[in-house]
Structure 1
Amino acid sequence: MNTENLIVEKKEFILLKRFITLSSYHRDKTLLRHLKELSSNLETACVYSEDEIPKNVVRINSIVTVSTKRGCKKDFQLVLPSKENSSQNKISLLSCLGAAIIGKIEGSTITLDTPSNKKILRIEKVSQQNKNISLDILL
């Protein structure tokens, strides 16, 4: 992930902190590294209310298009862990990609460390689905 400040909506900030705390005992070391970095980045995040947050920020339920240096593109929706479904291109915010991309803006570049290599992805497009989230949800 980059060191630029993340941009997060207030409710999502609280939810992310809860998820990180609950996921801190996960066995996947790569994911734990991404969650630790996300936690650190949240300390300096710019937190906005729902009506103030810019529309080009990757949020929960955003539909995102990313591309590689070679021009390969992938569209997916960033969702809560309970809504993850790879066949529908719904990626959990607690996946390596989800943790690396949430709070970033269109045009940002992220480095995704995987067990086998590093992938550099550019956020090409972000569109919002305007689905309100509740703080009273479970993983």
Structure 2
Amino acid sequence: MDDFWPVPDVLAHLAGRWRVERTVLDLATGDEGRFTGTADFEPGTGTAAGGLVHRESGTFRWRGVARPAGRTLHFLPGGTPGRAEVRFADGRPFHDLDLTRGHHVADHPCAADLYRGEFTVRDADHWRAVWRVRGPAKDLVLTTGYARVG
């Protein structure tokens, strides 16, 4: 489907709270996990000043075991308002993000693995990220749906 919703200002669009639903499918074993929680995109300080800090928290269920899970990313201004640079919490580069057309593909090499992310915006309150991970030790598909809260 190619009905994408263009985003002229990615940081303004992402700001706020989102409900998160993620499935993690291990294509090698057939195992499937599920993360449910929230993601808050809040104004950044320090190294994230001018951007947003993305804090995700919730529960990840894998092989019948539920555990608390979370992550932090920094979304920094890109060259134009529709673009952002996404970095890990420690400042390492993760990927670029350009939602001016409502759709973007980004690669992230991680050791011997390659993460390829596809981002799609459906409307003002829904977007999705699908990461395909391939490498000698990984064969995964991570599909995350985001729905605006409030």
TM-score, scaled relative to structure 1: 0.33
- Higher-Rg member (1/2): 2
User: 1 or 2, which has the higher strand percentage?
Assistant: 2
| Greater RCO, CA 8 A, separation 6+ | 1
Normalized per residue, which structure has more helix?
Answer: 1
Structure 2 length normalisation: TM-score?
A: 0.32
